[in-house]
Structures are given as structure tokens and as C-alpha cells.
Amino acid sequence: MANENVSVWTSIPFWRRSAAWVTGFATILLIWLTFDTIGQISMGTDADLKNGVTKRVPAPTVINYKIGYEMSKKRGHEVPTIGEKQPFFGKEWSPKEAANLLHLGKLTSQAKNCMDCHTLLGNGAYYAPDLTKAWLDPAWQDGGPMQGMTGKNTVEEAMAEFLQHPSKYPTHARMMPNLGITADEAKGLVAFLKHMSSIDTNGFPRNFSKTVDQFKAGGTNAH
Ligand code: HEC
């Protein structure tokens, strides 16, 4: 009788039950999201590349292909595209060779602490240009200043030369110090950067194309 006027909102068992249901539901949702994310970020295979299957993180052999960056109207930002075959340092790399080269590049990026100054996939510092899409920076492409400056005629050779002797080619107000990078390590780093540029990062870094357009318009620098 006395209970008739008690509102459900003040009922302790009601809140206990609700908390249990919400916690249970959120747990199931998080488990599902975890598996969904693992599926999205797991690396593709060489066969995916050959069959034109798009993966957010392509196989290491993506270094054998031309990478583009195109606006997707549907998604509202740029998405990396994988084009035709293109020799990388003058050859086609087997899956094993490509994986080893990428591994060397990754280890070198950690040993030389690129993240102290640069940002890679959202981690690191903004003292120096974001490297997530550095491979696609027009400054390095045909007709950009970096190939002429380094005396090389491919993106990979120009970048590898720059990485070994950065203080010889100052392109920005701030100079990258000489880090004692060997020729092999430089190759690995360039493979690492090329592979990174092919990862679908939902359009991050956000300002990449804008800074590139300013570069095209002003001709000063891309950052
Ligand atoms: C002490 C700070 C510092 C460290 C460490 C550093 N860099 Fe740099 N880097 C710079 C600065 C500053 C620039 C811009 C100056 C320039 O281009 O001459 C630059 C420029 C670059 C560019 C050209 C970017 C573009 O889009 O044009 C690349 C590529 C690059 N760095 C790669 C690396 C890699 C790979 C590592 C690690 C092995 C590394 N850097 C470590 C400071 C650093």
C-alpha cells in the first residue's frame, strides 16, 4: 500500500538491474568492436594486391606499386590508391624481401627516434613535417625540387639521399640533423614511408592536401 506512490526512479533494485544490463551490453559491444577493429587493421597479403582487394593496411609488397592519393566524395577526404607496378630502387621486391626491408625501416625509425621531431600515423612530435604521407609530397615527385636538388630521378632515390645527408639539402627553415643513417637503412626507411603512405588513415593528417596546394600555389615549401 505504502509502495503505490513510490516512483520507479527512486527504486534501488531498478537502478541495480539497469546498471547490470548496461554493463553487460557495453561489454558485448566492446568485444564486438575489438574484433571488428582487428579485422580492419590486419595487414593484407600479396595476393590481395594482385587481385585488387583493398585493405586499410596493404602488404609490404605495396612498395612495388605506384601510390596515389585521391579525394573520395563518398567519404569526404582523400584515400590512398594503388596503381600500376612501379620499380622500387630499380627492381620488384618479393614478399619476403619487401617484408625484410620494411622491418629494417621500422627498426631504424625507432633506433633513430624519428618521432622525436616528426609524426607517424598520429604519434610523435610536430617540430618537423608529418611523415604519414611524406611519400606523396609533390616536393619529391617528378618536377618537384627534391629530385633536382639531390640529383636523383626517382622519389625513392631522392629521399634515400636526403636521409643520409639531410643537412646538405635544407628545404625548410628548420634543418634535419645528420643521424648517421647508412645506405641500407635509408632504403628501409623509404620503404617504410612508402608503405605508410598507402595506409588508409581516414584522411589523416587532415591538412596534408591543403599544405600541398599551398606548395603548388606558392612554390615555397610543403609544410
Ligand atoms: C631532430 C629532429 C629530427 C629527427 C630526429 C628526424 N628529422 Fe626528419 N626532418 C627534420 C626537419 C626539421 C625537417 C625539415 C627540414 C628539411 O626538410 O630540410 C625534416 C624533414 C624530413 C623529411 C622531408 C619531409 C617532406 O615531406 O618533405 C623526411 C622524409 C624526413 N625528415 C624523414 C626522417 C626520418 C625517416 C627520420 C628518422 C630516421 C627523421 N626524419 C628524423 C627533423 C628531424
CATH code: domain of residue 105: 1.10.760.10
**Residue ranges making up the domain that contains 23:** 9-39
Q: Please answer whether residues 221 and 170 qualify as being in contact, where contact means their C-beta atoms are separated by less than 8 angstroms.
A: no
Is the C-beta atom of 117 inside 6 A of ligand 1?
A: yes
Phi, psi for residue 64 in degrees, rounded to 5: -85, 0
Phi, psi for residue 66 in degrees, rounded to 5: -80, 130
Task: Report the atom number in ligand 1 closest to the C-alpha of 129.
Answer: 24
Residue 19 sits in the same domain as residue 88:
no
What are the start-end ranges of the H helices in the chain?
Answer: 12-41, 46-50, 95-111, 145-150, 155-164, 183-197, 208-218
Asked if the structure places residue 111 within a domain, the reply is yes
Is the C-beta atom of 216 inside 6 A of ligand 1?
A: no
- Please state, in angstroms and rounded to a whole number, the distance separating the CA atoms of residues 182 and 109: 12
Residue 33 sits in the same domain as residue 105:
no
Asked if the structure places residue 178 within a domain, the reply is yes
Q: Which of 101-105, 143-147, 157-161 has the lowest mean pLDDT?
A: 143-147
With a CB cutoff of 8 Å and minimum separation 6, the contacts of 61 are 46, 49, 93, 94, 95, 98
Asked if the structure places residue 71 within a domain, the reply is yes
Distance 9 CA to ligand 1 centre (A): 59
Q: Please answer whether residues 64 and 86 qualify as being in contact, where contact means their C-beta atoms are separated by less than 8 angstroms.
A: yes
Condensed to tens digits (0 to 9), the pLDDT of residues 22-74 reads 999 999 999 999 999 999 899 999 999 999 999 999 999 999 999 999 999 99
Residue 64 sits in the same domain as residue 135:
yes
Residue 81 sits in the same domain as residue 61:
yes
Condensed to tens digits (0 to 9), the pLDDT of residues 9-23 reads 999 999 999 999 999
User: How many domains are contained in the chain?
Assistant: 2
Is the C-beta atom of 189 inside 6 A of ligand 1?
A: yes
Distance 111 CA to ligand 1 centre (A): 14
Is the C-beta atom of 155 inside 6 A of ligand 1?
A: no
Asked if the structure places residue 4 within a domain, the reply is no
Distance 24 CA to ligand 1 centre (A): 47
Q: What is the pTM of this model?
A: 0.87
Asked if the structure places residue 2 within a domain, the reply is no
Residue 35 sits in the same domain as residue 52:
no
Residue 32 sits in the same domain as residue 83:
no
Distance 121 CA to ligand 1 centre (A): 15
Asked if the structure places residue 223 within a domain, the reply is no
Asked if the structure places residue 30 within a domain, the reply is yes
Task: Report the atom number in ligand 1 closest to the C-alpha of 166.
Answer: 18
Residue 97 sits in the same domain as residue 207:
yes
